[in-house]
Chains A and B, each alone.
Chain A
Amino acid sequence: MLSAGNDIVSLNEINVARTQTEPLYSKILSVSEIALYEKLKSAILFEHYVWLLWSIKESAFKYLQRIDPELLFTPVKFGITQLNIPKGYFPVSFDGNENTLTITGNVEFDNYKIYSRSVIYKELISSVVDADKDFKGVYSAIKYIDSTVNTVQSAAVRSFLIDHLVKETGTSNLTIGKNADSIPILFEGAKELQIPVSLSHHGHYIAYSFKLKH
């Protein structure tokens, strides 16, 4: 089954001091992921590490929820088994262009093994996951918007996604609804399309991913 999963975390909305406390990070990181940080601490700030793992786990949850709508999100049960921080990685400001190095990783849940691709800017962390290591047919993007009003952001991320889908598929009259399990569904007119989409917004940032059959 094709699926899609993404997540964005606005770092301006994150409480750095709280992130560094055990009650918070222990609800996101497993014991082995806390140990993994010891190997990575020269490369990435702890608060970035915590929310990077959150964004990968949330993306994986969204990906798997489309397959199993009953799934509950328990961050520590989604295990990050590998995280590759590229040499020279350093968070720069997000200027609207996605031009930073990609952090790749593996996330496991039950018998599923999923791959992640993430970027970290000074202002945000964004992740996308896929079951295919090469991310064939996976498209994603990030954008800054002025409004932090939930309904405005929700409409903006849909419009941002549809613009891209129209270009990739040549299909018009696209809309996005949600099914009874709150999973986003793409429609062409009244017809449901088998193109999985994933939406996220936080703070001033919106992001999406979708997957096309190749």
Chain B
Amino acid sequence: MTRQEILNELKKVISPYTTNKEMLAGINENTDLIKDLKINSANLVDIIIDAESNYDIEIDYDDADKMMNVGSCIDIISQKIAQK
């Protein structure tokens, strides 16, 4: 998957957890999940679990704590896909 394809999928994963749909529509790799998309930190765990299920990967906690913006999410997801 390309980074753009992962980003497009990620948008769907994130969507249930943000009310800021305008910002979601225009997300890029620098978009911060908490500061920009106003996602509650408790929902970051949901996003990680949904991403695991969506991409059939496992994200451990050392990786999860780096998933603060869209770019770092894509980094981790693409690494995990490559390791499959």
Contact = CB atoms under 8 A, between A and B. Distances in A.
Interface of A: 9, 13-15, 18, 23-24, 27-28, 51, 54, 58, 72-77, 149-150, 182, 202
B60 to A, nearest CB: 9
B30 to A, nearest CB: 15
Contact of A73 (B19, B38, B41): B41
Interface of B: 19-20, 34-35, 38, 40-42, 45-46, 48-49, 52, 61-62, 64-66, 68
Contacts of A27: 45, 48-49, 61, 64
Contact of A9 (B42, B48, B49, B61): B42
Nearest to B59: A27
Contacts of A24: 45-46, 49
A54 B42 CA distance: 8
23 contacts: A13-B42, A15-B46, A18-B46, A24-B45, A24-B46, A24-B49, A27-B45, A27-B48, A27-B61, A28-B45, A54-B42, A58-B41, A72-B68, A73-B41, A73-B65, A74-B61, A74-B62, A74-B65, A75-B61, A76-B61, A149-B19, A150-B38, A182-B35
A150 B46 contact: no
Contacts of B65: 72-74
Contacts of B62: 74
A27 B19 CA distance: 24
Contacts of B64: 27, 74
Contacts of B34: 182
Nearest to A61: B41
A13 B45 contact: no
A14 to B, nearest CB: 8
A125 to B, nearest CB: 10
Contacts of A18: 46, 49
Most chain B C-beta atoms within 10 Å of own C-beta, residue among A13, A27, A28, A54: A27
